[in-house]
Structure 1
Amino acid sequence: MIKLVVADCDGTILDDHKKIDPQLKEVIKLLKQKNIIFTLATGRNIFLMEEVVQDLDLEYPYIINNGANIYQKNKMIENYSLPKEAVQPICSILENENFPFLAYSEKELVIYSKHQLLEGFKEKLKNKLEHIEFNPSINFSNIPFFKITIATDDVEDIKETKKQIEELFPNINFKRSEGTLFTITSSQATKGNAIQTLASMLGCKKDEIMVFGDNYNDITMFDVASVGVAMGNSDQTIKQCATHETSDNNHNGVSEFLIKYFGL
């Protein structure tokens, strides 16, 4: 019996225009009547989640920054920061190899170079986080960073740099998140690990968990759930990791699956 449902945001409950599945809020209410908890696990940070959390009126803790943090409303209740000694060298390597990146902390956004895939994030966080242009001479060792997001035009281009960073810092998690975006977090910070932490808080076991996802940063979620649902817009690689498939994010894939599965 499923007691906990966890869904990704972009490409999952959000359509291509970043609008929420219009049936979902009502479906969450119907799930609650069956004592089923619904929450989210996303690569977004807290500021990019505020509107989604409010619109869905989420009561329960939710996962952000690809598993680096668990929040309830606007309060952080779990935190897996990057190793402090790793941030400066990693950023310097990325700069030397000319890979555009954003490094996120609670109050700062460290920026290197421009890239169309990162410009939207920067713009949305303009008045939320202090924007700092990366300079190797600035000491970031006292700031807890949760995530570094890297943009590349071709996933093959970053392979050698990824290997170099992983060899230097085996206690980090360097993964492709979506398309040609990659993220670096603590080795403990994955959506799967965060769901296990959350499930423990809520008293749920693996066979009581259902997850929805569409991209590479969602694969660890499928590993910790008995029912893993891939969106119709997912790559074939993602679909192969899931137990079920639903329609795409532009056709209310999450709510439609929940309605049918639970007979709502």
Structure 2
Amino acid sequence: MKVFVFDLDGTILMDSHNIHPSNLKAINLLLEKGKKIVFASGRMLPSVRKLLQRYFDVEFPIIAYNGSVVWTNEHGKIMELKIEPQRASQIVQKLRSLNVHRQAYVDDKLVVEEDNEHARAYSEHSGIELTFVDDLAELVAEHGATKLLAIAEPERLDAIIPELRDEFDDVLIFKSFSNYLDFVPSQTDKGRALKVLAEKLGFDLREAVAFGDNDNDVALLRSVGLGVAVRNGTKSLKEVADVVVEENFLGGPGNFLLDLFDRGWFD
């Protein structure tokens, strides 16, 4: 295997949002062996880059916004998909009417119209400053959105998902965390984004290994030669995985790879 693709939150990050030491050790060993490392996250691009710069001196290819953006340091944004302006505005207005927190990702900025605990907690989690506007629906009506996000209690989101999917059936709507509901362009998924990256950089998806934990990683694991889920992952992801490893907080992906190193797989 020549390419290793890692989801971040819930996979190689502990619940403290730090990379588990076993995962860090394994990734550095892979780099020493000349393997290509890719990170694929639901996070916005600046958030992924900022997090990785805490641990590494090199820039990696990144799939961000659950596959809406593909970026490399050499080429910049290879792909960027957006929810078209009118539709994005309609979604924001709908979420406002449902009285749930909503935020938009516009030109790599995290934009909100209310200063509340959800916005502040997300800003702290992502490491990205908030940009405030008076009317979020008006902003996205002009610019569109790379992604929209609703934040609420899990039960509240579960209750409104059917209505939202029925009304906005041309947009992908799914949970990236129990209390995060993502809205992305219909053609967005990490698997498709990885294919775009593979074509640009010239690697074979059959020689790739991918690690994930949530439903937004299903297409990613299906697209590669070996799909690995962490034990804390969703049922649907573990059903499509070739291998299930220990939980994220135990460093499951790293321990799996370190065991392969010990067995001489990379010699």
Counterpart mapping for 1:47-126 below 5 A: 47-54=46-53, 55-73=55-73, 75-106=76-107, 108-111=109-112, 118-123=119-124
Give a deviation string over 1:85-113, Cα, whole Å, max 9, x none.
21111111111122221111125433256
- Deviation, structure 1 residue 16: 0.8
1:100 touches 1:150 (CA, 8 Å); kept in 2?
A: yes
Shift of 1:69: 1.1
Q: Is the 8 A contact 1:87 1:145 kept in 2?
A: yes
More helix by share: 2
Aligned counterparts of 2:231 and 2:117: Cα–Cα separation in 1: 26
State the AA in 2 paired with 1:176: K
Normalised by the size of structure 2, how large is the TM-score?
Answer: 0.86
Letter of the 2:232 partner, please give it: N
For 1:157, the equivalent position in structure 2 comes to 159
CA displacement at 1:122 relative to structure 2: 3.3
Partner-residue secondary structure (3-state), 2:158: coil
2:229, 2:244 within 8 Å by CA — same for their partners in 1? yes
Which amino acid in structure 2 is aligned with residue 217 of structure 1? N
Shift in alpha-carbon separation, 1:113–1:220, aligned structure 2, 3 A:
farther
In structure 1, stretches of 5+ residues that fail to align are: none
Quote the offset at 1:114 in angstroms. Answer: 7.0
> Distance in 2 between the 1:12 and 1:107 partners?
23
Q: How does 1:1-264 map to 2 (within 5 A)?
A: 2-54=1-53, 55-73=55-73, 75-106=76-107, 108-111=109-112, 118-123=119-124, 128-134=129-135, 136=137, 138-153=138-153, 154=155, 155-167=157-169, 170=170, 172-262=171-261, 263=264
Q: For structure 2, which runs of at least 5 residues remain unmatched after alignment?
A: none
What SS is found at the alignment partner of 1:140?
A: helix
Tell whether the 8 Å contact from 2:50 to 2:127 is kept in structure 1 after alignment. Answer: no
- For the aligned residue pairs, the C-alpha RMSD in angstroms reads 2.5
The offset of 1:76, in angstroms, is 3.1
Tell me if structure 1 keeps the 8 A contact 2:41–2:66.
yes
Q: Cα offset for 1:251? A: 1.4
Q: CA deviation at 1:239?
A: 1.2
Question: Structure 1 residues 124 and 20 mapped into 2: Cα distance closer, same or farther (>3 Å)?
Answer: closer
For residue 141 of structure 1, give the secondary structure of its aligned residue in structure 2.
helix
Identity %: 25
Following superposition, the deviation at residue 79 of structure 1 comes to 1.0
| Alignment partners' CA distance in 2, 1:148 and 1:188 | 15
